[in-house]
Homo-oligomer: A and B are copies of this chain.
Amino acid sequence: MAPLIKTKQTEKIINGISTQVVCTEFSNYIFIVLTQYGKIGTLVSVTPDTRCSDVSAPVITTKVLLGKDEALTHVYAKNVATFVCQEAGNRPVLLGLSLKDCTAENLKTLKEMIKSCQVW
């Protein structure tokens, strides 16, 4: 029997650090964990505003559910997950972030890793 809940994962060494990405599809959320510690880390919900129909500039709300609530976390979460919300038909993303190295350069690599684990 094929699993009903799609899940994919990948691993890559980024600047010498082993990095895991896990993506799981639920009907109301895409669950994504980006981790360099094997942890779930800071858990953030990334929710597109359904009242807003302008896809080119979606309004995205981020909320830290678990862990330290830092400004950078919101910025990073929004940057890394907004494209998933859009591609997944405006579905929210539940995102676990546990990264040693949050740079703009890594962001591109992480987004490529997420794309390679597309479950939506």
Contacts and interface: CB of A to CB of B under 8 A. Distances in A.
B5 A9 contact: yes
A38 B4 contact: yes
Interface residues of A, number: 29
A90 interface: no
Contact of A37 (B7, B27, B94): B27
A26 B67 CA distance: 15
Interface SS of A by simple majority: strand
Contacts of A22: 5, 7, 24
23 contacts: A3-B11, A4-B18, A4-B20, A5-B9, A5-B20, A5-B22, A5-B35, A7-B7, A7-B9, A22-B24, A24-B24, A26-B33, A26-B35, A26-B38, A26-B96, A27-B37, A27-B39, A28-B40, A29-B40, A43-B65, A43-B94, A65-B65, A66-B94
Interface of A: 1, 3-5, 7, 9, 11, 18, 20, 22, 24, 26-29, 31, 33, 35, 37-41, 43, 45, 65-66, 94, 96
